[in-house]
Amino acid sequence: MVERAAAPKIPMLRRRLLQAARAMTTPLLPDDYIGLLDPRWSTREATGSIVRVVPETDDAATVVIRPSHQWTAHKPGQYLRVGAEIDGRRHWRAYSITSDPDHPEQLVSITIKRVAEGLMSPWFVRHAKPGTLVFLGEVEGTFGLPDPLPAKILGISAGSGITPLMSMLRELDRRNGLDDVVHIHSVRTADRFIFGDMLRELAARRPGYTLHERLTGEHGRITPDELDDLVADWRERETFLSGPREMINALEAHYLENGSEDSVLHVERFQPVIGTGNASVGTGGTVFFRVQDVEAACEVGVSILVGGERAGALLPYGCRMGICHTCVGRLRAGQVRDLRTGELFTDEGQTIRTCINAPEGPIEIEL
Partner 1 sequence: MASRYPPAWLLGTAGLSVAKILENMEIGHNVLHGQWDWMNDPNIHSSSWDWDTASTSVAWKHSHNYLHHTYTNVVGKDKDLGYQIMRVDPKQPWSPFFLAQPAINVLLMVIFEWGVAFHDLDFEEILKGRKDKKILKEELKGIAQKARRQIVKDYIVFPALSGRKGFKRTLQANLTANIVRNVWANAIIFCGHFPDQAYTFTEEEAATESRGAWYVRQLLGAVNIEGSDTFHLMSGNLSYQVEHHLYPDMPSSRYKQIAPKVKAVCEKYGLPYNTGPFAKQWLMVQRTIVRLALPGGKERPKAPPYVAPPAVEAVRPTAPAMGGPVPAFP
Residues that bind partner 1 (CB under 8 A): 1-5, 23-28, 32, 35, 44-45, 88-91
Nearer to partner 1, 35 or 259 (CB): 35
The nearest distance, CB 133 to partner 1, in angstroms, is 12
The nearest distance, CB 50 to partner 1, in angstroms, is 19
Strand order of the β-sheet with 238-243 is 209-215, 181-187, 153-158, 238-243, 264-269
Q: Tell me the C-alpha to C-alpha distance, in Å, between residue 299 and each of 287, 336, 338, 358.
A: 11, 13, 14, 9
DSSP code for 149:
P
CA distance 120 to 131: 17
Nearer to partner 1, 27 or 148 (CB): 27
Nearer to partner 1, 89 or 129 (CB): 89
The nearest distance, CB 46 to partner 1, in angstroms, is 12
Q: Of the candidates 5, 131, 4, 123, which has an alpha carbon nearest to the alpha carbon of residue 66?
A: 131
Nearer to partner 1, 133 or 211 (CB): 133
Could you write out the DSSP letters of every residue in 310-365? HTT-----SSSSSSS-TTEEEEEEEEEEETTT--EE--TTSEEETTTEEEEEEEEE
Length reported for the chain: 367
Q: Which residues pair with 242 in a beta bridge?
A: 157, 268
The three-point CA angle 290-293-295 to 5° equals 95
Nearer to partner 1, 69 or 185 (CB): 69
The nearest distance, CB 358 to partner 1, in angstroms, is 24
The nearest distance, CB 26 to partner 1, in angstroms, is 4
The nearest distance, CB 91 to partner 1, in angstroms, is 7
Nearer to partner 1, 29 or 311 (CB): 29
